Structure 1
Amino acid sequence: MVDHDCTIASEICRKARLARDARFDGQFFTGVLTTGIYCRSICPAVSPKEENVRYFDSPLKAANVGLRPCLRCRPDSAPGSFAWKGVATTLERAISLIDVGVLTGADAISIEQLSERLGVSSRYLRKLFTEGVGTSIKQYAQYRQLMFAKQLLHQTELSITQIGLAAGFNSIRRFNEVFKQTLKLTPSTFRKQVISANIKLTKNSHSKINEVDVPSVEPIKLSVELYYRPPFAWQQQHDFYQVRAVSNMEWLEGDNNYGRSFTTNGVSGYFDANHNNARNSFNVDIVLDNEQGLSELSAIIANIKRVLDLDANMQAIEQVLHLLAPLQQKIIPGLRLPGTWSTFEAGCRAVLGQQVSIIQASKLLNQLVLAYGEKRMISDKEVILFPTAEVIANASLDELKMPGARKLALNALGEFVTQNPAADINDWLSIKGIGPWTVAYAHMRGASSPDVLLCGDLVVKKRVLTLYQQHNEVLESAPAIDYSALTKEIASTVSPWGSYLTFQLWNLS
């Protein structure tokens, strides 16, 4: 009988791995007991016999029983899909923070400080990890470091020292020790195996395979391949970006490209994401100001994945959306949440979009960024960075042709975020001119919160009423529609995927 440490039924896992079904990529991992490795559902290797496999919810659970990640399918690069997601909000928040490196690197915080930030005791947080993840907080953080380092060893030509820095290790010696202890190879030996296996590495003129200790002031260039589970409605997402793009801050060069500049914790750069439909992935080129920015690389890649919404499980989401009878025949498969780089940027976009058309809001946004964004030459590309909260707080905003009250709301938002950078988005409601719609929009696009049904949005209201009126006519019944009661019922039905319903409604013709 097949050992099973997975919430997905064994028979479903069996069929998915034999079919190499990309829709299950990252939802489970196959441990091959005869070879001692674990694989993704899409692994191209010859499928093992069922009696020799064991299924796991996560690669960490497979690693905990002594299995090693497959060199061919690289489980570290699978789209995220954790069994505990949606079960415990505190645990999910903790995992998100750990994944972007709060427990590693020179600015690492302690587990006690992480617990305080989450509003729970360290003992309770440790219990959540033991019960929900099956390992300790420290072990989980270290595993994420190693898998990120392994991904960079596979896909880039960053030096071993640079990769150790990017993965959050404070010394190359410690990086080598932990890597060898867990994966039974040193990083250098592992890279040689990758090269000998003819796995293509990204070429760039600023990277070396040799270890280097002198920080570089030159821009850092690297490329990674980021996977998703199909379907993916890329054309709709591309069009959404196109209409709202800010010149020199965002660009769409061809039908399969989206790029933009960014700033994360003082690190500036830009990325170009190129959709590869055949591989269910994006080839992402990232350029950082200099080598010091590598300490934020994990957070930057995590944010790119969030902005593109690569970890969404569209099967699960659309199964819930199909519960709405009037929408069943109109759902666009693979429609995701196109995010903004920060909650502050999303808040500014929302304020500028109050009571105006999308075209007018985009025009105002371009004027704002052109007037107050910082122009930078990063490598060989001139970009504009989105204005900081401090700059917006003190801006005259004379360039913007809009009501003075909205200008004051922008100033006040900038001042509030400057003074309270860690405040919850809901706290923005204390700002004059910031209402529930603006806060909800910032949650949905800035924080990628999955359960935001924008009932107060005029387009959403119009399309909900039209859908249900048409549905009632088909049923030959036309009761009066109480919009408030109806949307409460709808929100309850589609939870926790209200944001995806909002985008479905926005995309209805």
Structure 2
Amino acid sequence: MNTLANQQYRQARLSRDARFDGVFFVGVLSTGIYCRPICPAVAPQEQNVRYFDSASAAAAAGLRPCLRCRPESAPGSNPWLGTDTTMQRALCLIEQAALDSQQPLNIDAISARLGISSRWLRRLFASKMGTTPIAYVNYCRVMFAKQLLHQTQLPITEVAFAAGFQSVRRFNEVFQAQLQLSPSSLRRRAGEAYSGTLQLTQSYRPPYDWAAMLAFYRLRAVAGMEWFEQDGQTGYGRTLSLTTPQGQMHAAIFAVDEPEQHQLRITIQLATGADMRLLPQLVKLLRRMFDLDADPYRISAALCHVPELANIAEHYIGTRITGVASSFEAGIRAVLGQQVSVTQAIKLLNQLVQQHGTWQELAGQQRLFFPTAAQLARQPCQLAMPKARQQTIDNLARFCAAQPQSQAEEWLPLKGIGPWTVAYAQLRGEGWPDVLLASDLVIKKQLVACGLDDSKAIAALAAQVAPWGSYLTFILWRAASSAVEPVANTSTDESTHES
């Protein structure tokens, strides 16, 4: 790192500035450990410190994670995130492979999916992460296992398989090599037994406008599938259907409490007999849904740099991308929202989920689950809306049932699916950071209010705010909802793309 960055990082670690949590890591050479900048331990002297862009780079340098601040719990954000799409995709694919114990890591196959050579992928990891793909896989597995050992009473055997190891013996070997500790030594509450409920804490960088996110979910909630009161406390909960690599479906529910100390406390309950190897997938999904890896000050600074946006961006700092469970769900929500108000769209959504979803008992209560693409494909959509839009729902369901791993951009050839629907699915279903929904009626009106009233100015704005267009989209929605009820896109995909 350069001298200027070192000076900034030194100030951040000495003040324990939570805004830098996960942005960099502090290697303490005198003790052989690495920490988050918010570590409560006595700050080491600067001559004994080395700064790292990622925790995996610190681990590759021979340092072990601090047991007080737990670097594996830091929000995941490196300086290149949001701009290096190849590296982002590589990390996503490798993290998925790391936590799938059924298949060995195939670097050549991952490289082919990325459209690069395996040699270039290794060079990319060396330059960005300071390590190799194989070492990064072991790092991901051990760090997830460490988090489960610290925060849950899940049996160690289950922890090993949940983290992607094929055997407990291999788990113990890699864990000992990485941390110089045995898994059992990290158990703080040895007397407690696993009850079937998991409670995890997930960190984020402040500020976090939780009230705004909760209001967004509440306005668009599906009865029986989402809830906001649990045991007298206000939070957010919903049902999820998780799929194993072999295509098996497992039910889960989660509930999120009010944030405390820059953390969300999440309670997770899996259906009886659920595959514990789904836990990494679930945790990753929850971090995306609640946008826990965002860097609000960095995003706000970029948006405030545009004069027309300075006031509104500063006022709504802490706005996050409010996600849903999948791009398929987001696509269905988008299609139902064409040319109608949000209220009408959610009424239709509730009817669809009631008709096609499934009820299942979990944690002693009957819960409703969003229909899978296969469930929707088996029965034609019959809702009080135009036939063309019902047919779009059917087309999307059949396509996703036949190609469950498809990405939203692959839907474009379908009649009734156009750029707006795809962009909405990428925004809320995939967590893309740079989706400015400029064709949305509410967004258009807000941009006009900001003095941006022609296509050239809006195109220039999209380039100026990149790669944070998604945050501007949510900020403009929030600004509009404070005055009037937001409405869905009226420039529909049927008219703009398919006709």
Structure 2 letter corresponding to 1:155: Q
Structure 2 letter corresponding to 1:261: T
Whole-Å Cα distance in 2 between the matches of residues 58 and 433 of structure 1? 43
Whole-Å Cα distance in 2 between the matches of residues 342 and 7 of structure 1? 42
Of 268-277 and 364-373, deviating more is 268-277
- Gap change, CA 1:317 and 1:204, over 3 Å in 2: farther
2:403 aligns to what?
A: 420
- Tell me the CA shift for residue 107 of structure 1: 3.9
So what's the TM-score if we normalise by structure 2?
0.91
For residues 177-219 of structure 1, what are the alpha-carbon distances to aligned partners after superposition, in whole Å with 9 as ceiling and x for unaligned?
Answer: 111111112111232xx459xxxx9x6652xxxxxxxxxxxxx
Whole-Å Cα distance in 1 between the matches of residues 378 and 361 of structure 2? 25
- Gap change, CA 1:441 and 1:98, over 3 Å in 2: same
Q: Is 2:414 the partner of 1:431? A: yes
Structure 1 letter corresponding to 2:214: H
2:157 aligns to what?
A: 161
1:259 aligns to what?
A: 237
For residues 316-373 of structure 1, what are the alpha-carbon distances to aligned partners after superposition, in whole Å with 9 as ceiling and x for unaligned?
Answer: 1111110222221122010010001100000000000000000111111111111111
Whole-Å Cα distance in 1 between the matches of residues 122 and 3 of structure 2? 22
**What is the DSSP-based 3-state SS (H/G/I as helix, E as strand, rest coil) of the residue aligned with 1:507?**
helix
Alignment map for 1:241-320 (pairs within 5 Å): 241-253=217-229, 256-265=234-243, 266-277=249-260, 279-320=261-302
2:431 paired residue among 442, 448, 467? 448
CA contact (8 A) 1:30 1:55 kept: yes
Q: Which runs of 4+ in 1 moved over 4 A?
A: 5-8
- Gap change, CA 1:105 and 1:7, over 3 Å in 2: farther
Whole-Å Cα distance in 2 between the matches of residues 272 and 204 of structure 1? 21
CA contact (8 A) 1:100 1:302 kept: no
Whole-Å Cα distance in 2 between the matches of residues 492 and 389 of structure 1? 35
1:485 paired residue among 456, 465, 474? 456
Whole-Å Cα distance in 2 between the matches of residues 359 and 8 of structure 1? 50
Whole-Å Cα distance in 2 between the matches of residues 325 and 458 of structure 1? 22
2:46 aligns to what?
A: 50
- Tell me the CA shift for residue 103 of structure 1: 6.1
Unaligned runs of 5+ in 2: 244-248, 483-499
**What is the DSSP-based 3-state SS (H/G/I as helix, E as strand, rest coil) of the residue aligned with 1:344?**
helix
Whole-Å Cα distance in 2 between the matches of residues 97 and 257 of structure 1? 32
Structure 1 letter corresponding to 2:281: A
Whole-Å Cα distance in 2 between the matches of residues 52 and 338 of structure 1? 41
1:174 aligns to what?
A: 170
Alignment map for 1:368-383 (pairs within 5 Å): 368-383=352-367
2:107 paired residue among 111, 117, 127? 111
- Gap change, CA 1:97 and 1:71, over 3 Å in 2: same
1:474 aligns to what?
A: none
1:461 aligns to what?
A: 444
**What is the DSSP-based 3-state SS (H/G/I as helix, E as strand, rest coil) of the residue aligned with 1:454?**
coil
**What is the DSSP-based 3-state SS (H/G/I as helix, E as strand, rest coil) of the residue aligned with 2:462?**
helix
- Tell me the CA shift for residue 293 of structure 1: 2.1
CA contact (8 A) 1:8 1:28 kept: no
**What is the DSSP-based 3-state SS (H/G/I as helix, E as strand, rest coil) of the residue aligned with 2:380?**
coil
- Tell me the CA shift for residue 52 of structure 1: 1.8
- Tell me the CA shift for residue 423 of structure 1: 2.5
Structure 2 letter corresponding to 1:435: G
- Tell me the CA shift for residue 426 of structure 1: 1.4
**What is the DSSP-based 3-state SS (H/G/I as helix, E as strand, rest coil) of the residue aligned with 1:271?**
strand
Structure 2 letter corresponding to 1:487: I
**What is the DSSP-based 3-state SS (H/G/I as helix, E as strand, rest coil) of the residue aligned with 2:412?**
helix
Whole-Å Cα distance in 2 between the matches of residues 396 and 33 of structure 1? 64
**What is the DSSP-based 3-state SS (H/G/I as helix, E as strand, rest coil) of the residue aligned with 2:75?**
coil
CA contact (8 A) 1:76 1:148 kept: yes
Structure 1 letter corresponding to 2:308: P
Of 373-382 and 495-504, deviating more is 373-382
1:230 aligns to what?
A: 206
Structure 2 letter corresponding to 1:63: A
Backbone CA RMSD of aligned residues: 1.9
**What is the DSSP-based 3-state SS (H/G/I as helix, E as strand, rest coil) of the residue aligned with 2:265?**
strand
2:371 aligns to what?
A: 387
Of 377-386 and 6-15, deviating more is 6-15
**What is the DSSP-based 3-state SS (H/G/I as helix, E as strand, rest coil) of the residue aligned with 1:115?**
helix
- Tell me the CA shift for residue 125 of structure 1: 1.8
CA contact (8 A) 1:99 1:298 kept: no
For residues 115-174 of structure 1, what are the alpha-carbon distances to aligned partners after superposition, in whole Å with 9 as ceiling and x for unaligned?
Answer: 223233322222221222121111001101000000011000001101001100011111
So what's the TM-score if we normalise by structure 1?
0.89
For residues 282-314 of structure 1, what are the alpha-carbon distances to aligned partners after superposition, in whole Å with 9 as ceiling and x for unaligned?
Answer: 000111113542111101100100000000011
- Gap change, CA 1:298 and 1:103, over 3 Å in 2: closer
**What is the DSSP-based 3-state SS (H/G/I as helix, E as strand, rest coil) of the residue aligned with 1:272?**
strand
- Tell me the CA shift for residue 421 of structure 1: 2.1
CA contact (8 A) 2:23 2:54 kept: yes
- Tell me the CA shift for residue 452 of structure 1: 0.7
**What is the DSSP-based 3-state SS (H/G/I as helix, E as strand, rest coil) of the residue aligned with 1:430?**
coil
- Tell me the CA shift for residue 439 of structure 1: 0.8
Whole-Å Cα distance in 2 between the matches of residues 227 and 204 of structure 1? 25
Whole-Å Cα distance in 1 between the matches of residues 88 and 194 of structure 2? 38
Percent of counterpart pairs with the same letter? 47
Whole-Å Cα distance in 2 between the matches of residues 224 and 410 of structure 1? 36
CA contact (8 A) 1:31 1:56 kept: yes
Whole-Å Cα distance in 2 between the matches of residues 189 and 230 of structure 1? 32
- Tell me the CA shift for residue 87 of structure 1: 4.4
For residues 380-422 of structure 1, what are the alpha-carbon distances to aligned partners after superposition, in whole Å with 9 as ceiling and x for unaligned?
Answer: 2321111011121232322x21111100000000011111223
1:348 aligns to what?
A: 332
2:309 paired residue among 304, 327, 332? 327
- Gap change, CA 1:205 and 1:420, over 3 Å in 2: closer
Unaligned runs of 5+ in 1: 207-219, 470-480
**What is the DSSP-based 3-state SS (H/G/I as helix, E as strand, rest coil) of the residue aligned with 2:257?**
strand
